Amino acid sequence: MIAWIETNGLRIGTFPALEALAPALRVWFTSRSGGVSTPPFDSLNLGSHVGDRRPDVLENRRRLKNALGIGKNRVARGGQVHGIEIASVTRGGKFEDTDGFITSSKELALAINSADCFPLVIHSPSEMVTAALHVGRSGASGGIIEEVFGLLYDEFRIDPENTVAVCGPGICPRCYEVGRDVAMGFPSWARKHRGKTWHLDLPRFIRTRTERAGVKPANFFDSGLCTACDDSLFSYRRDGGRTGRNWTIAMMVRL
């Protein structure tokens, strides 16, 4: 379902099957390779808040934008505070206290920063609107998925029949051990009790809530990649909290 492309020394993940359903949508997710950051941020770290050298982060972002053909000042980034705040945007820049975006602007890249949490992209081809969310356990349990669909239905009148959703890399249930109090905040089908430990199945939770909101199962695309299992991706848990950040980018292009 996913394909890796090599461009300008960067290894970028894509979803080729999207083209038939959503020809104007582009979704990319980054790997660790192709940047200039030194360990433990090697090498394409895109997070500016993790302790990496700022000049290296800016160079990594420049390389990524050049590789993907993203214009100057055309990336919207959120503060990502593990909440459910969603901003409607028409320009690039950093939006504090924001964990999601909605836009109907073409050539505007929505960037989701992650290193175990999940990036979720929702796109309506008929209404030409795209949303991108940062979905961790707090945002998921807090209702960020329901929040974005409420906005998309109320303000943009999207058609669920042709709406597509894309879930990028995040931590799998085998790797995601949580405390009992966290696990009990989720439905029984999204948590697993293994011996003395609890594990959270965020991918299943995200998919189920997205499909309940109206997206057809055939229109849900999942990378199937675990950030903690795959050494080519940054993982907060695997790397002991000192690591870089992956980006997932969603953008509508002019056809």
Q: Where are the domains of the chain?
A: 3-174+221-252
- Are the beta carbons of 200 and 182 closer than 8 angstroms? yes
Quick one: which H or E segment has residue 103? strand 100-103
Residue 16 pLDDT class (50, 70, 90 cuts): very high
Q: How far apart are the first and last CA of the chain?
A: 23
* CATH numeric code, 3-174+221-252: 3.60.140.10
**How many Å apart are CA 167 and CA 234, to the nearest integer?**
16
Matching residue, tokens 């390389």: 63
For the entire predicted model, the pTM comes to 0.97
- pLDDT for 3 equals 94
How many CB atoms neighbour CB 215 within 10 A? 21
What pLDDT digit, counting tens, does each position of 126-184 carry? 999 999 999 999 999 999 999 999 999 999 999 999 999 999 999 999 999 999 999 99
DSSP for 30-91, written as a single string? E-STT--PPTTSTTT---SSSS--HHHHHHHHHHHHHHHTPPTT-EEEE---SS--EEE-SS
